[in-house]
Amino acid sequence: MKALRKLWLRKFYKIKLGKHIFINIWFFPVALCSFLGGYWKFFFTGFLVALMHELAHVACALALKIPVSHITIFPFGINAKLKTEYIKNSGKEFFIAFSGPFLNLFLFWIATAISIFVSNEIVSFFADINLAICVINLIPALPLDGGRMLKSIVASKYGIIPAHNFVHKMSKISIFLIGIFTIIILFAGKFNFSLVLIFSFLLNNLSYEESLISHIAFKEIIKNHCKLKDSQILPAKIFCATEDSFASGIIRRLGCDYFLIVHVNNHDSKIVKTLTETQILSALTAHGIRIRYKDI
């Protein structure tokens, strides 16, 4: 009953505009306040910039043949959702994440050039908001573009699960520093709503990213038996492990675009057996995470 109530509320808060666009109902009172307060030009200019930022992600994703699920308009921003929870190709993920800040930086240069010849507060604000969105999105924290770009770079070398773990830790550090900076600004007597909003957004997202790591690992384990069959050819990563070490350590090294091979060494550092990741994961599934390499 509780789950149904949550689902109903989620649907109630969203209005469907076409097949792939949703709008949160709280957008309308916020937009109305902008008219009543006389700052609607700045409000909708900011929304236009946010929309172009997300459309850059969408255009890049579609160009790279990554399907897009929908776009949701929120009171303080716009979010484009891909159909897949994570992108297996680290190069594609990097370019999709990079496209948004790149467009903002390009628009900032254009608006700055125009402002030299045209003195207009909206043009100046357009330049400022593009630069601000570009800089904020380059923060190395998930789900911001900077975090996704960093994750794709790490994933290309170490695999998607180690990359998620690493960037998740970096996100904690970034959020901590933003929190400290926000507190300093508050004590200085200069309340900054934008900083509070960014800090709250990133902090709220931490638990989701943490659960996503486990979900990715789980999906990789389930699909492992057909990974090599589907791809036919995959690059291999070779590791050495002692006989007495726990086989569960392989889980954090799993990746979508490579296949693991483990050489098991005895106390004399001689290879006594060679195991594939499929063999190891099958043993973990059958006997539990406490199984050691010597028992497989």
* Tens-place pLDDT, residues 11-20: 546 677 666 7
Per-residue model confidence (pLDDT) at position 102? 94
Residues 6+ apart with CB under 8 A from 265: 240, 241, 242, 243, 271, 272
Higher pLDDT, 73 or 173: 173
In angstroms, the CA 169 to CA 180 distance is 17
Active-site annotation, residues: 54
Q: Give residue-wise pLDDT tens across range 86-124.
A: 677 788 889 999 999 999 999 999 999 998 888 888 888
Which residues make Cβ contacts (< 8 Å) with residue 91, sequence separation at least 6? 152, 156
Residue scoring higher pLDDT (228 or 38): 38
> Which residues pair with residue 264 across a beta bridge?
241, 273
Confidence band, pLDDT 50/70/90 cuts, at residue 192: low
Return the closest-CA partner of residue 54 out of 32, 21, 28.
21
pLDDT at 211 over 90: no
Amino acid residing at 217: A
Q: Identify the band that residue 3 occupies on the pLDDT scale cut at 50, 70 and 90.
A: very low
Which residue's entry shows tokens 């236009």?
A: 48
Q: Is the pLDDT of residue 6 over 50?
A: no
* Amino acid 106: pLDDT: 94
Whether 85 and 212 have beta carbons less than 8 Å apart is answered as yes
pLDDT per residue as tens digits for the range 229-266: 666 677 788 888 888 888 877 777 776 667 788 888 88
Q: In terms of pLDDT, which residue wins out, 221 or 8? A: 221
How much of the chain is helix, strand and coil, in % rounded to 5? Answer: 65, 15, 20
* Mean pLDDT, rounded, for 183-189: 73
- Is residue 131 classed exposed, middle or buried when 0-12, 13-18 and 19+ CB atoms within 10 A define those classes? middle
| Residue 71 DSSP SS3 | strand
